[in-house]
Amino acid sequence: ELPPSEFMQVADSTWLVLSVVSNGREPPGCQATGVTKIARSVIAPLAEHHVSVLMLSTYQTDFILVRERDLPVVIHTLAGEFDIYKEESGECVPVTCDDVSNGFLKPKPAASPTLHPVQSPQTRFCVLTVAPDTLPAIATMLIDVLFYSHGPPWDAAAGSQDLDSITFFSFSLIEGYISIVMDAETQKRFPSDLLLTSSTGELWRMVRIGGQPLGFDECGIVAQIAEPLAAADISAYYISTFNFDHALVPEEGIAEVIQLLQQRQESSR
């Protein structure tokens, strides 16, 4: 419904959403699992089979987006580990490899992925949710923050490796559930009694992947971050965007995360 505009870029792919539950052999409705827990079972195998993914964490769960044209490869890659369902008219229907075998080509071995630089700004972030019925109370402030107060830092040098802070605000509305990521200073502008967070109220730090826009064709970008964190049992909140990927980790673990990623960079040289 959005009118064409010279100011709006649209990727040429249509994407489908995968939601991974905690036990791949259980029917839908099980507890969803986090990014680092699916790093080895989903993210890494898809990267090895040349499947590019977008990752979207929310307050409630995590989603993997894959291009529609890659669905046959996705099904064949994951069918050995998971029972796979598709949604039809609100019902979950089992999917078999035979359903998507048309056009499936066995992928060639993947080349070693590019290890992109990571930046870790000093900004501290909050991961929040809002009850839908309280959204009108903050709607005006939300619009101001999203579209007016924090415009992109056009004067910042693209690819700067020494960012002290980063402008980042994420709002998602998925099946009625709202998730918001904002920096701790921006949070102070909102009524504290309407923004809900975990009981610990923990703050998060970010690593941003890529010194320049990443595009959508390269595989293994999410795995570059998720696999080392999974091996170290560090939780993460991951958001892919049009230009860059962002992983948020608990503030107390940022030093270990940076060390892990630096070691990975050095070992690849």
pLDDT of residue 111: 55
Q: How far apart are CA 234 and CA 216, in angstroms?
A: 26
Q: Which CATH class is domain 8-268?
A: alpha beta
pLDDT of residue 32: 43
Are 46 and 113 a contacting pair, CB within 8 Å? no
Residue-range domain boundaries for the chain: 8-268
Q: Within a 10 A sphere around the Cβ of 94, how many other Cβ atoms? A: 10
Are 184 and 167 a contacting pair, CB within 8 Å? no
Q: Kindly report, residue by residue over 168-225, the tens digit of the pLDDT.
A: 999 999 988 999 999 999 999 999 889 988 767 789 999 988 777 777 777 778 888 8
Q: Kindly report, residue by residue over 224-257, the tens digit of the pLDDT.
A: 888 888 888 888 899 998 888 899 999 998 999 9
Give the list of residues 6+ apart from residue 182 with CB closer than 8 angstroms, or none.
125, 126, 128, 145, 168, 169, 170
Q: Kindly report, residue by residue over 144-172, the tens digit of the pLDDT.
A: 999 887 654 444 444 444 467 778 999 99
Q: How far apart are CA 73 and CA 106, in angstroms?
A: 8
pLDDT of residue 112: 60
Task: Give which of 59, 56, 73 is closest to 17, Cα–Cα.
Answer: 56
Q: Kindly report, residue by residue over 27-72, the tens digit of the pLDDT.
A: 444 444 467 778 888 998 998 888 999 999 999 888 999 999 999 9
Q: Kindly report, residue by residue over 72-131, the tens digit of the pLDDT.
A: 999 999 998 889 998 888 898 998 776 554 444 555 555 566 777 788 899 999 999 999
SS3 (DSSP) at 180: strand
Please report the DSSP string for 224-261 in residue order.
Answer: HHHHHHHHTT---EEEE-SS-EEEEEEGGGHHHHHHHH
pLDDT of residue 153: 47
pLDDT of residue 140: 94
